[in-house]
Amino acid sequence: MTDTAEPFGARLRGAMDARGPLCVGIDPHASLLADWGLGDDIAGLERFTRTVVDALAGKVAVLKPQSAFFERFGSRGIAVLERAVADARAAGALVLMDAKRGDIGSTMAAYASAYLDPAGPLFSDAVTVSPYLGFGSLRPALEAARAAGAGVFALALTSNPEGAEVQHAVRPDGTTVAASVLTALKAENAAEAAEGRLGSYGAVVGATLGGTAHRLGADLAIDGPLLAPGIGAQGATPADLPAVFGAAVRNVLPSVSRGVLRHGPDAASLVAAASRMADEVRAVAE
């Protein structure tokens, strides 16, 4: 069972060191269900999700269910997600809920309660959030995470082309919006960093970005984890990570979905694919 006695950053570091620096997404979209010979229905969703959790929760550092693919099935899909979260944490994996929530005031507090309240059925070790209503709008989630020993990953430099129009925009002080998000996260991590620990407040930075972060003056040394989607199907490889993240590469948690999931539904093949990917990442991060 995943223990929340330690802050998320410390638990993440321990999991990455013990199991390899890899996050595997649970993304049951219709085409992948079809590839597995499953129907795009609640039975297919449940079979897919249970297979991934049973195969990988005892092996990988982090599992990342994409909430949208469960929400589309309504309350029955959410029930499958609740069980997946509980079973994955019981097997020792950290669960990062990929929900990308962002709002203000009591609404943001409600989202925080949904994913970061230890008494809740969707309580996860961390959650993804969007800071684009202003970083300060995330305060309820940051405070809830701190109280629960959980973590938060804020979108900073994403790999989708549309993200640039907001993330690369220049503020009146001459910094980019993305750089300001990274600076704010570094401040949130200051207390844990002062104790020599990995912070619990991370950034989402695409592995496909090449030198974009450096050109934008974005300092990736936030003293916290860097969730890096884009490995595998989106074109990036573990060998690309040092060029993107530089000296912060040891804090990178690559996120892979189709690159591992396409090897299902055979459990042994899923484990082998995840193990290979974790070994490749470890080789460039050390």
Whole-angstrom CA distances from 52 to 66, 214, 263 are 13, 36, 11
Query: Scanning the structure block, which residue is given the tokens 């948690």?
Result: 253
- Asked about 186 being catalytic, the answer comes back as no
Q: Residue 231 forms beta bridges with which residues?
A: 236
Distance of alpha carbon 39 from alpha carbon 51, whole angstroms = 15
Q: Residue 129 forms beta bridges with which residues?
A: 101, 154
From 59, 64, 100, 186, the catalytic residue: 100
Distance of alpha carbon 16 from alpha carbon 39, whole angstroms = 34
Q: What are the start-end ranges of the H helices in the chain?
A: 8-19, 30-35, 42-56, 67-71, 74-90, 105-116, 139-148, 164-167, 177-188, 190-194, 212-215, 241-245, 258-261, 267-285
Catalytic residues: 100
